[in-house]
């Protein structure tokens, strides 16, 4: 008897199940160590079924990459628009850190797993489009503030400033994900650490009042 044809909703649900299982395995064991057969076993289907949805592991990885980065971009775009670029940058830092806290597995895979990145040649996302590219969204805010000449001249161009802000907030996020349950340190509140990092970075980048 031939297998029952799945509805579009069932196909979408199974594809999401495969992506979630792949993400967990990639984070736990590393991308190169995980096979399509292992992913299939995790979701309880045959490897043949996976190949109905993804032509190979690279295709699965790229789909997962596009999905998670687009989700992040939408999360950041959903933040309340502030009146000026500096206020927007502060709100963006807070929203980014919330994403890391709410979706630690996604964050681990996107920013803490070796060889996980977007290829401009294969991604379905539009590189440089602030609606789909989170870095482009941050960069647009920094460029707007730069045009208002609020940064110190020695701070460098907009890309350098944006990447420095990102690196600082990423440091707080990654430490939270890896060591939050470690009782060796008396960790202060996550939100307080994010806020102080943001304030410290901006204090060094902005012209004196």
What per-residue confidence (pLDDT) applies to 77? Answer: 78
Residues 146 and 186 in one domain: yes
Strand partners, 206: 151
∠ CA 134-55-33, rounded to 5°: 75
CATH of the domain at 131: 1.10.357.10
181 confidence band (pLDDT: 50, 70, 90): confident
pLDDT tens-digit map of 167-179: 999 999 999 999 9
pLDDT at 80 over 90: no
pLDDT at 1 over 60: no
4 confidence band (pLDDT: 50, 70, 90): low
What 3-state class would DSSP assign to 47? helix
pLDDT tens-digit map of 123-148: 666 667 777 788 999 999 999 999 99
Can you give the pTM of this predicted structure? 0.85
For residue 38, the enclosing domain spans 1-54
Residues 22 and 72 in one domain: no
Domain count, the chain: 2
What per-residue confidence (pLDDT) applies to 122? Answer: 62
Tokens representing residue 130 in the block: 């602030």
């Amino acid at each position: 008897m031939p297998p029952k044809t799945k509805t579009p909703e069932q196909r979408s649900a199974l594809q999401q199940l495969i992506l979630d299982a792949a993400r967990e395995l990639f984070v736990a064991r590393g991308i190169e160590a995980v096979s399509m057969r292992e992913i299939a076993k995790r979701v309880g289907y045959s490897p043949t079924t996976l190949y109905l949805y993804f032509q190979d592991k690279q295709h699965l990885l790229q789909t997962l990459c596009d999905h998670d980065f687009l989700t992040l971009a939408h999360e950041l775009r959903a933040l309340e628009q502030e009146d000026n670029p500096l206020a927007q940058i502060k709100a963006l830092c807070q929203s980014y850190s919330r994403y890391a806290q709410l979706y630690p597995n996604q964050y681990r895979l996107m920013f803490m797993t070796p060889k996980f990145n977007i290829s401009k040649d294969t991604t379905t996302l539009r590189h440089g489009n602030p609606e789909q590219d989170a870095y482009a969204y941050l960069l647009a805010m920094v460029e707007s503030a730069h045009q208002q000449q609020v940064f110190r001249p020695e701070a460098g161009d907009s890309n350098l400033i944006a990447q420095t802000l990102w690196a600082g907030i990423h440091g707080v996020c990654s430490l939270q994900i890896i060591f939050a349950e470690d009782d060796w340190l008396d960790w202060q509140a996550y939100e307080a650490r994010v806020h102080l990092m943001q304030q410290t970075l901006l204090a060094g980048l902005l012209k004196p009042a």
